[in-house]
């Protein structure tokens, strides 16, 4: 009897939801009296006086970061941009330098290190500018729901006995004996601060600074943290000021009684909920305004309750975004005159709401593309605005491995319906980066050594692209690679600040893959189809694609030539994969050859003898044996001694854990993973063995098998009918290509047939 699947009851589901909600929102729903809030401030004055900049910076640190080396320099990646909210669905790849510059500007604002500025993410279309800001918004939403990210505002509350005549004075934090005047027990009207104001603004500004200085000193943080000037100097908004002054007059200056009407509340940022985050589209939006209250019952009740008090309703994105982030999408699509209010927003921290004005605390970040930013620079009205801007360039990616991640992410769902051959996205990504890199001028620099200049002069677009991804171009010898020191690679990577601001947009390649996936009849999407579509893009010319207008500089910006170069590279790749797959080679045999080579090389380096295991006599290291391996690795005579030294060094590093290629549970040389440590030598020996055996392979039979059988099922039926003996080579090749490289039958078939026709000239 088949086992029954576990059933979830209605109670199981509701209990799960209730438990998750309680854990998530118990702390976030905190509210209390002003005295209870002051106790929190006294315990951690920094956390409860944070500005929008400090909150943003702390949020970035909350999600953590990691450092890694990239092209000779240490680069920091902030984990927020790995998109921890959606499993990496919207992760940002390859923009660590750009994001670090933005973080530095935020850090400066958080440390009160000068006047605040408008941050502008500037770059060509499709460089993840909006995605960066969206993740920052999601980060604020997540962070403010945690204890570390707690943010507080307040509301005014009133009780039913507020107008009772002759009532005794109210006690601070509780209703008076004669009635619930402040609505502590049963409020009849609660009016939240529309601007999400800081509760400390309720403390008179004259004494607020002194109080905060005392709290910072007692907490021992006055030497390392400045008291935010926005918290020290900020004023209540128009409505809160009207209510505050009315109550202060009513209670004859008794501030404590006024505070009895204050309910401090935890606020969790939410873009959709209009709290702490606001996104302003480029058109059709009213950012700030106010109007008399006519509908809201709380407004009407309190306005009637407090004689001579007139309240207004605030409107716009700055009402929603106050205390947090205001994001301008395509900011310079708006007329320059429409943006002049940003000057007072960043310099005076004030905003005009039509009938009234008020203090704000926001971080303003916008996005813009190249054309829009160039246009605003020509507008004389923009001069003052541009002086308050911090422009951060967001280029296209320059690491093809990061670019490939974007394509693979977009194809994740498509892989359910389409077969995609290995190297398909890799070839597209290489083409993209080749279109963006610029020819280096370092080969002509007198500050670079002659040998290094000669190596740098060999950097073609493909070579430079590979180098940017941490791979040494195959055109360079081992000795030449040594010239590309960490400092040289760092200098090369930072030679052109605008490198990556031009070239093929990522979106074009994404659209290219979308077009390929629309063909349901395609058995496999492979690099051949990518090359064909890229050629079609180039044929459309600069009228349709701006990047094609760049003038060719040797092989750089030779967009037609890029496909030719990559076809040659792809030929080499599939040749290697097929050669490695057509025969079954015993890796133990290859490892034995490498061990024997190392034994003789070690003795050679130490000027020692080698014991002959057959004769038991000591003899000189076998030079012919060593040269056979070195010939496979194309080692020149002038480099032979250095190469032998490096081969032994690799072994030493592995034994001491320097490379990390150590097998667990072993000791001595036996614990080395030779395939990892000497992968290049493995491949060279494997290729030589293939050459020895390839003439025995019946390529015509392989070709017939693949041409006759469109699917693996058809081939298997043929093998079952005719027997395995006549199809061994085909089956070996297909099985090894699948297990070693991930080829499905549909993707391996055209590649192998192409290899046979073009590379071997089989008939």
CA angle at 713 for the pair 708 and 715, rounded to the nearest 5°: 35
What's the helix, strand, coil split of the chain in %, to 5?
50, 10, 35
Residues 165-206 pLDDT 10s: 344 444 444 444 446 888 888 888 888 999 999 999 999 998
pLDDT at 309: 78
pLDDT at 658: 52
Q: 314 Cβ partners below 8 Å, 6+ apart? A: 194, 195, 237, 239, 288, 289, 290, 353, 358
The phi-psi region of residue 253 (left if phi > 0; otherwise alpha if psi is between -120 and 50; otherwise beta) is left
Query: In this model, does residue 90 exceed pLDDT 80?
Result: yes
Query: In this model, does residue 284 exceed pLDDT 70?
Result: no
Check the CA dihedral 267-270-273-276 and report its sign. Answer: positive
Contact (Cβ atoms closer than 8 angstroms) between residue 745 and residue 715: yes
Residues 507-548 pLDDT 10s: 999 999 999 998 888 889 999 999 999 999 999 999 999 999
Contact (Cβ atoms closer than 8 angstroms) between residue 286 and residue 258: no
Task: Compute CA distances 107 → 53, 61, 145, 362, 433, whole Å.
Answer: 7, 11, 22, 15, 32
- Kindly list the domain boundaries of the chain, sorted by start residue: 26-394, 400-556, 587-690, 697-759
The stretch 247-269 carries a mean pLDDT of: 94
The stretch 435-439 carries a mean pLDDT of: 98
Q: Which of 472, 464, 473, 470 is nearest to 433 (CA)?
A: 464
Residues 119-159 pLDDT 10s: 999 999 999 999 999 999 999 999 999 999 999 999 999 98
Q: d(Cα 645, Cα 653) in Å, to the nearest integer?
A: 12
Q: Which of 176, 154, 156, 155 is nearest to 167 (CA)?
A: 176
Please state which architecture CATH assigns to domain 26-394.
Answer: 3-Layer(aba) Sandwich (3.40)
> Residues of 564-601 as b/e, b for ≥16 C-beta within 10 angstroms?
ebbeebbeebbeebbbbbbbebeeeebbebbeebbbbb
Q: d(Cα 341, Cα 199) in Å, to the nearest integer?
A: 26
Q: What is the pTM of this model?
A: 0.85
pLDDT at 148: 96
Query: Any idea which of 10-24, 361-375, 617-631 has the lowest mean pLDDT?
Result: 10-24
Q: 544 Cβ partners below 8 Å, 6+ apart? A: none
Strand partners, 321: none
pLDDT at 208: 96
Query: In this model, does residue 342 exceed pLDDT 50?
Result: yes
Which is more confident, 557 or 379?
A: 557
């Amino acid at each position: 009897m088949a086992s029954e699947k576990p059933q979830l009851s209605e109670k199981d589901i509701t209990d799960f939801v209730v438990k998750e909600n309680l854990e998530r929102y118990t702390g976030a729903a905190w509210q209390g009296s002003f005295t209870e809030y002051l106790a929190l401030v006294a315990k951690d004055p920094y956390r409860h006086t944070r500005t929008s900049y400090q909150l943003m910076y702390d949020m970035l640190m909350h999600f953590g970061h990691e450092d890694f080396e990239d092209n000779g320099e240490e680069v920091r990646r902030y984990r927020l941009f790995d998109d921890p909210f959606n499993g990496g669905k919207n992760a940002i790849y390859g923009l660590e330098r750009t994001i670090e510059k933005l973080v530095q500007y935020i850090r400066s604002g958080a440390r009160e290190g000068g006047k605040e500025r408008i941050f502008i993410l500037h770059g060509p279309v499709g460089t993840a500018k909006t995605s960066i800001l969206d993740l920052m918004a999601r980060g604020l939403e997540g962070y403010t729901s945690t204890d570390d990210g707690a943010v507080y505002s307040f509301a005014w509350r009133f009780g039913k006995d507020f107008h009772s005549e002759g009532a005794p004075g109210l006690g601070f934090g509780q209703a008076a004996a004669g009635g619930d005047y402040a609505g502590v027990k049963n409020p009849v009207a609660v009016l939240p601060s529309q601007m999400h104001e800081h509760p400390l603004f309720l403390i008179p500004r004259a004494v607020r600074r002194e109080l905060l200085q005392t709290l910072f000193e007692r907490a021992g943080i006055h030497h390392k943290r400045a008291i935010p000037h926005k918290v020290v100097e900020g004023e209540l908004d128009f409505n809160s000021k009207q209510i505050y002054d009315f109550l202060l007059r009513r209670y004859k200056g008794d501030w404590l009684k006024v505070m009895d009407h204050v309910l401090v509340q935890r606020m969790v940022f939410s873009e959709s909920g209009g709290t702490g985050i606001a996104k302003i589209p480029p058109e059709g939006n009213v950012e700030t305004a106010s109007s008399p209250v006519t509908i809201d019952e709380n407004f009407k009740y309190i306005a009637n309750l407090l004689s001579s008090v007139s309240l207004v309703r605030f409107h716009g994105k700055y009402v929603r975004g106050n205390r947090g982030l205001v994001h301008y999408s395509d900011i310079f699509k708006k007329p320059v005159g429409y943006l002049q209010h940003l000057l007072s927003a960043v310099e005076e921290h004030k905003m005009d709401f039509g009938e009234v004005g008020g203090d704000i605390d926001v971080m303003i970040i916008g996005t813009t593309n190249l054309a829009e930013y160039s246009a605003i620079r020509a507008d004389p009205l923009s001069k003052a605005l541009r002086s308050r801007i911090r422009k951060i360039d967001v280029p296209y990616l320059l690491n093809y491995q990061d670019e490939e991640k974007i394509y693979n992410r977009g194809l994740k769902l498509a892989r359910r319906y389409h077969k995609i051959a290995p190297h398909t996205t890799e070839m597209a990504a290489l083409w993209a980066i080749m279109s963006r890199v610029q020819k280096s001028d370092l080969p002509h620099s007198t500050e670079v050594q002659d040998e290094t200049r000669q190596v740098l002069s060999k950097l073609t677009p493909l070579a430079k692209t590979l180098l940017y991804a941490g791979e040494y171009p195959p055109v360079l010898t081992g000795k030449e690679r040594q010239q590309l020191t960490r400092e040289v690679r760092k200098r090369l990577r930072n030679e052109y600040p605008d490198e990556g601001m031009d070239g093929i947009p990522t979106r074009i390649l994404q659209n290219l893959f979308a077009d390929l996936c629309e063909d349901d009849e395609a058995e496999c999407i492979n690099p051949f189809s990518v090359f064909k579509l890229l050629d079609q893009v180039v044929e459309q010319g600069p009228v349709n694609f701006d990047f094609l207008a760049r003038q060719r500089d040797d092989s750089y910006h030779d967009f037609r030539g890029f496909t030719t170069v990559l076809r040659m590279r792809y030929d080499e790749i599939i040749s290697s994969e097929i050669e490695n797959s057509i025969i079954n080679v015993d890796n133990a045999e290859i490892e034995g050859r490498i061990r024997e080579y190392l034994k003789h090389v070690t003795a050679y380096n130490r000027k020692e003898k080698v014991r002959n295991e057959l004769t038991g006599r000591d003899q000189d290291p076998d030079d012919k044996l060593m040269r056979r391996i070195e010939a496979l690795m194309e080692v020149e005579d002038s480099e032979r001694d250095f190469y032998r030294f490096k081969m032994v060094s690799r072994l030493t590093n592995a034994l001491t854990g320097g490379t990390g290629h150590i097998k667990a549970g072993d000791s001595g040389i036996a614990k080395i993973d030779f395939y990892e440590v000497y992968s290049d030598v493995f491949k060279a020996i494997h290729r030589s063995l293939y050459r020895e055996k390839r003439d025995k392979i019946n390529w015509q039979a392989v070709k017939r098998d693949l041409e006759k059988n469109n699917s693996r099922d058809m081939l298997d039926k043929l093998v079952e009918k005719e027997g395995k003996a006549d199809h061994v080579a085909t089956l070996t090749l297909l099985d090894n290509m699948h297990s070693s490289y991930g080829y499905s039958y549909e993707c391996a078939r055209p590649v192998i047939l192409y290899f046979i026709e073009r590379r071997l000239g089989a008939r």
